[in-house]
Amino acid sequence: MNRRTGPAVFLAYILAGCVALLNSLNYSELACRIPKAGSSYTYIYFIMGEFPAFITGWAILLEYILGISLVARCWSSMLDSLADNHISKWTIHSVGRLSHPGGVLAEHYDFVGVLLIIILSAISCCGVRGSAKVTAVSIFVNVGVLTVTSIYMFVYSKPEYLYITSPNITVDKLSPNPNFLPFGIPGLIGGTAICFNVFIGFDAISTCAEEAKNPSYSLPRANVVAVITVAILTTVSSLALTLYYPWFLISTESSFLSALKGNTLNGGPENVRTGMFYFVGVGSLIGLIACLITSLVAAPRISYAMAQDGLIPTICSHLCQPFK
């Protein structure tokens, strides 16, 4: 927001949602024609052959592995923020520093993130039904928190924040509306590319095509409903955030928490704002669990498909009978 789109971030989510919807329809058609586990890897294998599929499969696995570690790190950092940084202070004091602040590596070891991945990996090993129940609860909480927070921020919104300019940036002179689009059309396009990452879950849905009873019926509907729901939630919540607090003061790491913590003048009663701060923090922790489980469920299905085709050791295609 404060580097690409400015107050027009909600418009970037709308554009990203339109692009994601078209992509999800493509994935749905391929999943209906090739109802196998593996998603993009399987489609490339059928269309282009082994070598491009091998590269694609490892690229997707790398994406999921890095995504899992990043989300787990964000989860532990958010928990540490809610605990007033006591977790990180204890780790540094008891175990020692891993790196200096601003270095290539994290400042301290993230034992909380590792523990979270182990627990959720055990849940995902229980099969789709077990992980689906946990994911459903997490998504329900996430949607509820976003809805309540958006309503709260709209109550204390200020329309002039939608056209406020930052004194610390150079406005794009070619922008059609410098106050609304301070970084111009290129900034909006760049922001749309970043916002698109919110919608990449339809790839994970396609990895389970082989396990669906009627993939030609359920997968297209699941993809379309998921993308439209996420587009509505992100558009409305980003607009509420923009109207609640000046966009250039919002933190890039914890936007809603920083806005609730920083808006001491017009953000509502202090006790209510403090309650909303912890409400959003705890809700975000629960909501991120769905993102982690989705990746933990999708990644083994990529390796399963690759192992079935003989591109990696066949042991990766063995199923655990009680939980298959």
pLDDT for position 321: 65
In this structure, are residues 2 and 166 in contact, taking their beta carbons and an 8 Å threshold? yes
Mean pLDDT (the chain, rounded):
85
In whole angstroms, what is the distance from residue 215 CA to residue 37 CA? Answer: 11
Least confident of 22-26, 175-179, 247-251, 281-285: 175-179
5 Cβ contact partners less than 8 Å away, ≥ 6 residues apart? 11, 12, 181, 183, 187, 188, 191
Residue 254 lies in a domain: yes
Question: Per-residue pLDDT averaged across 52-62, rounded?
Answer: 92
Residue 212 lies in a domain: yes
Residue 95 lies in a domain: no
**What is the number of structural domains in the chain?**
1
Q: Which domain holds residue 77?
A: 6-81+123-313
Residue 70 lies in a domain: yes
Reported confidence tier of residue 243, pLDDT bands at 50, 70, 90: very high
Residue 229 lies in a domain: yes
Reported confidence tier of residue 15, pLDDT bands at 50, 70, 90: very high
Residue 192 lies in a domain: yes
Residue 46 lies in a domain: yes
- Examine the pLDDT at 323 and tell me if it is beyond 70: no
Question: Per-residue pLDDT averaged across 49-73, rounded?
Answer: 89
Q: What is the DSSP string of 27-54?
A: HHHHHHHS--TTTHHHHHHHHH-HHHHH
Residue 86 lies in a domain: no
Taking only the tens place, the pLDDT of each residue in 270-318 is 899 989 989 998 998 998 898 888 888 888 889 988 998 888 888 887 7
- Examine the pLDDT at 121 and tell me if it is beyond 60: yes
One-letter amino acid at 5 equals T
Question: Per-residue pLDDT averaged across 94-98, rounded?
Answer: 81
pLDDT for position 228: 93
In this structure, are residues 288 and 75 in contact, taking their beta carbons and an 8 Å threshold? yes
Task: Supply 17's token pair.
Answer: 């949602």
Question: Per-residue pLDDT averaged across 108-130, rounded?
Answer: 86
- The CATH number covering residue 31 comes to 1.20.1740.10
Taking only the tens place, the pLDDT of each residue in 184-221 is 888 889 889 888 888 877 778 888 877 778 888 888 88
Rounded percentage of the chain residues whose pLDDT exceeds 90:
23
Least confident of 49-53, 111-115, 203-207: 203-207
Question: Per-residue pLDDT averaged across 168-187, rounded?
Answer: 77
In whole angstroms, what is the distance from residue 15 CA to residue 17 CA? Answer: 5
Reported confidence tier of residue 53, pLDDT bands at 50, 70, 90: very high
